[in-house]
Structures are given as structure tokens and as C-alpha cells.
Amino acid sequence: TTTPKPKIPMVKVADDMNIRLAGGRTPNEGRVEMKFDAGEWGVACGDGWGVREAIVACKQLGLGYAEATMSTSIFGGSNMTKVVSGLGCKGNEESLLDCGHDDFGSLSALAKDA
């Protein structure tokens, strides 16, 4: 078997990270948009996005516990820049910036958005 390469801590590539939800029917749902340091808003590539990442995003947004998550483009954003790929959280982090990732920057991801 092939051992997956370890996740890179987000704090090694960015000092600051803002997130917001957009495209949802209510303020508590939608795609997760991210902005690192003074960069532009973008989205996470959906690969690796799961309930642990949603728990951390909801905590960071002050929304409490995540009920469900999906990796889909139903909330739009497929034309936005993918700014991070392969997010990996444990679920106890205070911010997505505390999680690991596979790739960072302007990405061309084929997976659905988070």
C-alpha cells in the first residue's frame, strides 16, 4: 500500500483566514468561502471535505455544531478560484487555519466545492 503524504498545517502558509457562507437559502447553510491574508475570496476544493471540517467551519463562524455536510456545487461557486485542497481536520480545532491541507494557492480542482 501507499502511505499518504502528511497534511501541511495551514498556519505554515497563511497568517490569517476569514471564512463565510454564501449561496444558501438560510444564513446557516451554503458554500464555504475563504480568504487568506489579503487575498481574494475563493472556495475549498471538495476533496477531503467532511463532517469534521464542517464542525470546525461552523465553530469558526459561531454557528454551533454542524448537522450535516456535503461536497457539492449546489450552492454555486464552481467558477470561483479553489484556494485550498484536501483539508483535513480532527474536529476539535478552533479554526480551519488550524487544520492541515494537501495543496494551497490557485488550484484547478476537479472535485466538487465544499
Give pLDDT tens digits along the chain (114 positions).
566 677 777 777 788 889 999 999 998 989 899 998 888 898 887 777 899 999 999 999 999 888 888 777 788 887 888 778 788 899 999 999 998 888 665 544 444 445
The owner of cell 461557486 is 77
Q: Which of 66, 32, 71, 72 is nearest to 52 (CA)?
A: 66
DSSP summary character for residue 2: P
**pLDDT for res 104:** 61
Spatial separation of the C-alpha atoms in residues 24 and 50, rounded to whole Å? 18
**pLDDT for res 110:** 41
**pLDDT for res 111:** 42
